[in-house]
Amino acid sequence: MQRCSHLDHVHRVHGKTHGCEECLKMGDSWVHLRLCMECGHVGCCDDSKNTHATKHFHHTKHPIMRSIEPGEEWGWCYEDDLMLDFRDPAHPQPAE
């Protein structure tokens, strides 16, 4: 099983905004929202045309985000290209 050495970047964060921070500023729209587990930045997913969550990683190197769509409990480590299981939010694990 793949491992992720970035789990100490997962903090108890709250989304800073109620939508994608950059899209809200631009007056643009998004498809799904992702939460940066390092700093609480909310960004739009890769299906959104502005892909702000991925851009946030490239700018900040904050490695881990999770989906904040209702009912979704998965996350992603950008450094490892690894899916994470966030059913226990304080202790995410690499997904099987």
Applying CB under 5 A, which residues contact Zn ion? 4, 6, 20, 22-23, 30, 36, 38-39, 41, 44, 50, 52, 60, 62, 77, 79-80
Q: Which long-range contacts (CB under 8 A, 24 or more apart) does 27-33 make?
A: 32/67, 32/69, 33/67, 33/68, 33/69
Q: Are 48 and 32 in contact (CB under 8 A)?
A: yes
Closest separation in Å from C-beta 72 to Zn ion: 17
93-94 vs 82-85, strand pairing mode = antiparallel
Closest separation in Å from C-beta 58 to Zn ion: 11
CB atoms within 10 A of CB 91: 10
Closest separation in Å from C-beta 23 to Zn ion: 3
Comparison of 60 and 72: residue with beta carbon closer to Zn ion: 60
Both tokens of 66, joined, read 């999770």
Comparison of 8 and 70: residue with beta carbon closer to Zn ion: 8
Closest separation in Å from C-beta 10 to Zn ion: 10
